[in-house]
Amino acid sequence: MVKERDLFDLVEKNTPEEIRKNPIIDISNKKAFEFVLERNDLKKLGLWKWFDNYRKEAMVSTGGIRGPQNILYPWDTRFPINQVGMALATLGKCLVLRDKISGKIEKLEGREVRYNSKSYVELISRIQAAQGIKTHLPVGGETIPIWLSSFLIFKLDLAGGENVTSSHAVSTKTATKDLNDQGSQFMPEESMEFVSRIEDILKTAEREGEYRIKISSSDDPLISEDLMKGNGDGIGMYTDYLKRGVATKRNIRLIKSMKNRIYIDCVGGCMHRTMTRIFRGLGIEGSFGWFNEKEDPFFHGIGKVFRNPKTGKGEYFDYSCDSTIREVFETMGYEEKMKNRPVGTVVEITDPDGDRLVLGCIEPSGREGKLKELGIDFIRISKDMLMSIYTPNQSFLMTMDFHVKQLKKEGIFGKRDNFIIMTTASATSWAKWAGKNGIKVIFTPVGFKEIAAVMRKVEKQQAERPGKDVIIRDVFGNDVNIGKRPRLVFAGEESGGMITGPEEMIRSKKGRTAIAMREKSAGEAMIIVSALAGYLEGEGMTLSEYLESVFEENGIRERFDLREEKIYYNESEPDPVKLVNEKEKGEAKRDDNDRFFLGIAFALSDGKICMDEAKKIMKEAFPGLDFSNLEKVVFVGDGTFFRFSDKYVEVRKSGTDAKTKAYAVGDDKRECREFARAFIGYPGKLTKTYERKIGKEFIGNVQKRAMGSYIKFLKHGM
């Protein structure tokens, strides 16, 4: 078993003594002081190279500007995320806010469990205080889920905030998820505003010889826990929000009625501290058991192995703590944890910052054939029992179906014009289900900030044109009329994030309104899923049986969904120089792949090629695949979407890493996997027809064009 000491030993081995012994910003000094960034530091610390990479990430960032850090010596500027960079980014954000807001500025700072997160929050808070910005902290500086930070920023009308987190990434990675005054993650243009201020700071240091960054004392009155203490860390406010939405009396009764416990796996993240208090407030704490509830930045070894799957070498490797990845799931020890649990027992798996939820369920071994038929993955617990593992596409289909059925029982469904928001990488079963239930669908690119942008567009039309039809343009270019009184039934994405909208608008203390919260929440998802578990226990059903019934009731044929990833470097590489170099090489390969597919989509939209020529190009590139029933190839904001008569495949480059991802949904799992793996593995080589009909010059500009198209989509209707 891999231990945290193994990781620490690697870090020590790859950190020069000069770096270990020379901290740059000493926040153990609790008095006010100045960090003086000198001209020589720009070269010595490699800050211009750091900045170039940081700016590149900011232009396409999803879920914060992420990267690896030196977990033991966070001032190590060889890594993309470091103490100096954190200070520069914080000051940049302060300067932007001070230009925009003339009066009092208040922000919320939070964190999950990652290495150095507490010291980063302190550094951010003290720089903000020195700039006259009030910083609110959770009581005791403890952890807080990203969704609760987002909720409180909106409800308390704050100017924004950050959570130090990196979602489900490897243990050595971190980031700040930057949140605006809506509680929504920054759009790229918002990130670029403060990035340009960082550039100004570096130029000033270069021109004038130094730049002084003020850092307040640790007890500065502008750093306070009073607001959070007065609001009980927001637990009561959020519990009340749940009661107005998914925590109906009917759902709470179902959860309380359970004879068998639901188990929540926190993977060492921040959810136990928050959810136990929320569950107590709802009176359902007795219905749950817990796994990996102790906060741990090593995530209790989840995802860690002693074999590099890319090289076959016996060395430390981290798959991340993303439980949708089978290799991660196999390190979570469920064979032992679940061996004595009864059939039907449900496991809810979160990620470290609590915004994603993955489901598992104990099934009888006699269901093995049916699980395969339904496309449900599983592991064997014993001779008699299996544990089914659901993709978020599958679990959220069940979640929204059960949610709507409960709304119908409450007599609520149908009083408003219902709609859902889903990303293009989500399963077509969601859209099929929605159509069957008279619910409109709005498609967005991948990412919850894009979902939040649609919410704001809906609210803008409601405010400016009350009583009129609300019409939203989706990423496919369709204008979707969602009616005069829209109600968001569900919004979600393939990676495991979701939110619902209550019947009535959410109001902040100062009267701002929203149709739903801006950040995905496993806390909210848990309530619906746990009520579903209670219902199924009463009916003597398992999750797989419920999913099967949803497929049948709604005539869903495209039942199989999967995601394939190609990672072009070892994220666990302990040598930061090698890590950065390999990542840069990987990004070049990723971009070659991306340009190949983008070129086809844009050439089709421009009329440079017809569909038959697109099919010919794809057949030349992938001679073993069948493109005869290819119907459409379009750019969808951050990737290229191939629609066939019996499936779709979307291929997109990661916005935060040297990775290519492909998503496939269809009626043949083997075929979906073949297409997805072939697409992510393609090196981007242009075929003869591609060179003749599209050309190298055309694809040289496609990524810039793609970004322009993406920004245009986001701004339409804002």
Average pLDDT over residues 246-256: 98
User: If we measure between CA atoms, which residue out of 65, 62, 64, 63 comes closest to residue 50?
Assistant: 65
Look up residue 114 and give its two tokens.
């990652």
Distance between CA atoms of 718 and 711, rounded to whole angstroms? 11
Residue 684 has pLDDT above 80, yes or no: yes
Q: Which residues contact 527 (CB under 8 A, 6 or more apart)?
A: 242, 246, 247, 251, 255, 282
Residue 655 has pLDDT above 80, yes or no: no
Residue with structure tokens 């209550």? 502
Cβ 147 vs Cβ 524: under 8 Å: yes
Distance between CA atoms of 29 and 501, rounded to whole angstroms? 46
Whole-angstrom CA distances from 374 to 429, 504, 529, 543 are 13, 37, 20, 12
For 689-698, the pLDDT digits (tens) are 999 999 999 9
For 287-318, the pLDDT digits (tens) are 999 999 999 999 999 999 999 887 888 989 99
User: If we measure between CA atoms, which residue out of 343, 697, 690 comes closest to residue 542?
Assistant: 343
Distance between CA atoms of 270 and 264, rounded to whole angstroms? 12
Look up residue 679 and give its two tokens.
């697409």
Residue with structure tokens 């999913």? 547
- Give 49: exposed, middle or buried? Use CB within 10 Å, 0-12, 13-18, 19+: middle
For 554-580, the pLDDT digits (tens) are 999 999 999 999 999 988 888 999 998
The amino acid sitting at 127 is I
Average pLDDT over residues 609-632: 98
pLDDT confidence bin for 157, thresholds 50/70/90: very high
For 4-41, the pLDDT digits (tens) are 999 999 999 999 999 999 999 999 999 999 999 999 99
Q: What is the pLDDT of residue 64?
A: 77
Look up residue 155 and give its two tokens.
């409800």
The enclosing H or E element of 473 equals strand 470-473
User: Nearest 5 degrees, angle CA 146-CA 217-CA 150?
Assistant: 15
For 70-126, the pLDDT digits (tens) are 999 999 999 999 999 999 999 999 999 999 999 999 999 999 999 999 999 999 999
Instruction: Identify the three-state secondary structure at position 530.
Output: helix
pLDDT confidence bin for 62, thresholds 50/70/90: low
pLDDT confidence bin for 63, thresholds 50/70/90: low
The full set of domains in the chain, from first to last, is 4-230 (3.40.120.10), 245-556 (3.40.120.10), 561-715 (3.30.310.50)
Q: What is the pLDDT of residue 60?
A: 75
Q: What is the pLDDT of residue 57?
A: 85
Instruction: Identify the three-state secondary structure at position 429.
Output: helix
Kindly report the average pLDDT of the chain as a whole number: 96
Report the first-to-last Cα separation within the chain, whole angstroms: 51
**Count of CB atoms situated within 10 Å of the CB of 414:** 12
Backbone angles phi, psi at 491, to 5 degrees: -140, 135
- Residue 255 CA, chain-centre distance (Å), reads 27
pLDDT confidence bin for 172, thresholds 50/70/90: very high
Distance between CA atoms of 340 and 381, rounded to whole angstroms? 9
Q: What is the pLDDT of residue 311?
A: 83
Cβ 574 vs Cβ 13: under 8 Å: yes
User: Whole-model pTM?
Assistant: 0.96
Q: What is the pLDDT of residue 572?
A: 84
3-state SS string for 109-165 = EEECCCCCHHHHHHHHHHHHHHCCCEEECCHHHCCCCHHHHHHHHHHCCCCEEEEEC
Backbone angles phi, psi at 593, to 5 degrees: -65, -45
pLDDT confidence bin for 276, thresholds 50/70/90: very high
Extended strands (E) in 436-538: 440-444, 470-473, 479-483, 486-492, 498-499, 506-507, 513-514
Instruction: Write down how long the chain is.
Output: 718
Q: What is the pLDDT of residue 346?
A: 98
> In the chain, helix, strand, coil percent, each to 5?
45, 20, 35
Cβ 519 vs Cβ 145: under 8 Å: no
